Structure 1
């Protein structure tokens, strides 16, 4: 069963993921809503095809990445804790990891190399 994400636009408003120029927006660049929304739909489809939740897919992808030393997740209930534990223990095949990279590459291409998604890439506070 595919999980609803609710209003994706609200989740990334005021960052480079969003082209909104409202209060709190500094980046002033074209957003990546279309790319992000397409990637989220493909991730839902992939998770559904694997018979796992998007949460499981996301945590498994994070823990499979050798460049990530620590994954911080939150739990409010015992059920969420168990779900997170199972998700972090889920093994991804190299083919699934390649699919995840392919699905999210258009988002990365659109956002560029600026790690600060709240600021214009020409006014980076990072470098």
Structure 2
């Protein structure tokens, strides 16, 4: 399974990637990993967080429903939901087809423009080791 090295990962199988800054914050895009979408099976519904909602790491902010189960997804950073992928309302299966691209879930604006808001998360090698059970 793919584990791109241009983003960071959580042990809950979310990915996070810095999109840029908006003048007062750093925007981090999040989604679920290829491993997660594969384990879930065919995704049929996604409940996304509300734009403007304040989120904190480890807090459930939405759900992904598949033909097998319903799973929460979690915020990997502290901030405010700046955008959600509204296209998933009509085509949730996009997550299965392209979890690291068109299947993104939300953008979170992390206050401040300094530092690396996702630096504490797992890099691709560490995440792949977790998935492999190493």
Shorter chain as denominator, the TM-score bin is under 0.3
Larger radius of gyration: 1
* Structure with greater helix percent: 1
TM-score after normalising by structure 2: 0.23
